[in-house]
Structure 1
Amino acid sequence: MALGLALSLPAAGQTPDPSPVVVVDQDRLFDDSLFGKRILVEIDRRSEELAAENRRIETELIAQERALTDQRDALPPEVFRERAEAFDSRVTTHREEQDAKARALGRRRDEARQEFYGQITGVLTEIIAERGARVLLDRRAVLAATEAVDITDTAIERIDAAIGDGSGDPSADTPPD
């Protein structure tokens, strides 16, 4: 069970009292940033394409298996065995290829997160210095904290301003609907 403690925030325009520790929600930092949203849309699109490809391949393999089964009685046993082994080999190859594509999607997300965190170090360091903090912790590692020490929203705004969606295309730096 997660514990949370929220106290009132400073008035608008007022700087929060310095705290030696600030926290950030790393998942939200990535997921809610323009960069993260672009990557997640890309990965979702590729995942849907992979799922459609898997369904198409499965349909083709089912048809091939039925055709092979229908030929069983008409073929000499050794010919049928050769064809069945060839079919099994194709199934295994397709499965390995599709699994590799799925793993590549997972790697793409991990690599994008690493790239993102590599690009935002300066932004986070600047916010930490402005707040007079000495330590930045992931919100998940904190049992209780006031909202005043959570810099996630500020960090997302500044990261979006600094790196946009990461594509290098300024027109793409608007949040998806």
Structure 2
Amino acid sequence: MGMRLVALAACLAASPAMAQQTPVEPSVGIPTSAVVVLDRDLLFTGSLFGQRIARDIEAASADLAAENRQIEADLEAEERALTERRDAMDMADFRVLAAEFDNRVTSIRQTQDAKARAISQQTERAQQIFLEQANPVLVQLARDTGALVILDRRIVIASADQVDITNLALERIDAVLGDGGSLLQGPPAPRPDPPSSGTRSDED
């Protein structure tokens, strides 16, 4: 996901000396450790926010795929009709129509590719927003665990299960962010009308 996890240094305490004088009192069920780990991918995909985004992206992708199939069918029908007219047309006139058709196909393909990229960019934007909003929750969780740093579990060779705070982080983030409905309004990508392919569809 390319998300940067917060690296929390000793500044979370007022000072090293004060930190030694007033140790963190861990909450029930929260391990106290200078280093804790979490699964950063699961942090997003396992959250209510991430699951909502996944559903929205899946729906937008399915809509785009259906739109592409309709456009493809329309273009194939137009191509067949143009081919059937070829023998009865002046060859120069046919070449002009064929070139116009090819140019329109290229334009439509570019438009549909742009829609696919927009869906992908919405995923990246959602991940960025998630991390920004989750960061204060992780900072507070680091304080509660007495941690000086939170590491991505994938870069740790070995660790005890007790220092993995992924599930605890998910619980707290879900409680604060929910499904992110107030942060991301509307579907992940716009769904404009399909470009005209030169033939009428059932939706016209």
Q: TM-score range by the shorter chain?
A: 0.7 to 0.9
In structure 2, what is the equivalent of residue 103 of structure 1? 117
For the residue of structure 2 that corresponds to 1:60, the secondary structure is helix
In structure 1, what is the equivalent of residue 35 of structure 2? 21
Q: Structure 1 residues 44 and 14 mapped into 2: Cα distance closer, same or farther (>3 Å)?
A: closer
For the residue of structure 2 that corresponds to 1:165, the secondary structure is coil
CA distance in 2, matches of 1:45, 1:124: 30
Does residue 152 (structure 1) correspond to residue 166 (structure 2)? The answer is yes
**C-alpha root-mean-square deviation of aligned residues, in Å?**
1.3
Identity of aligned residues (%): 51
Contact 2:43 2:169 in 1 (8 A): yes
Q: Give matches, 1:2-13, under 5 Å.
A: 13=28
CA distance in 2, matches of 1:144, 1:70: 68
CA distance in 1, matches of 2:133, 2:149: 19
Does residue 112 (structure 1) correspond to residue 154 (structure 2)? The answer is no
1:30 to 30, 44, 49: 44
In structure 1, what is the equivalent of residue 153 of structure 2? 139
In structure 2, what is the equivalent of residue 90 of structure 1? 104
Q: Structure 1 residues 73 and 133 mapped into 2: Cα distance closer, same or farther (>3 Å)?
A: same
Does residue 41 (structure 1) correspond to residue 55 (structure 2)? The answer is yes
Q: Structure 1 residues 159 and 14 mapped into 2: Cα distance closer, same or farther (>3 Å)?
A: closer
1:168: Cα distance to partner? 2.8
In structure 2, what is the equivalent of residue 164 of structure 1? 178
- TM-score, with length taken from structure 2: 0.73
Q: Note the residue ranges of structure 1 that are not aligned, 5 or more in a row.
A: 1-12, 170-177
For the residue of structure 1 that corresponds to 2:33, the secondary structure is coil
CA distance in 2, matches of 1:91, 1:106: 23
1:24: Cα distance to partner? 1.3
1:143: Cα distance to partner? 2.0
Alignment length (residue pairs)? 156
1:19: Cα distance to partner? 2.0
For the residue of structure 2 that corresponds to 1:167, the secondary structure is coil
1:121 to 122, 135, 138: 135
- TM-score, with length taken from structure 1: 0.84
Runs of 4+ in 1 over 3 A off after TM superposition: none
Q: Note the residue ranges of structure 2 that are not aligned, 5 or more in a row.
A: 1-27, 184-204
CA distance in 2, matches of 1:122, 1:51: 38
1:15: Cα distance to partner? 4.0
- Normalized per residue, the structure richer in helix is 1
Q: Structure 1 residues 41 and 163 mapped into 2: Cα distance closer, same or farther (>3 Å)?
A: same
1:27: Cα distance to partner? 1.2
CA distance in 1, matches of 2:157, 2:97: 61
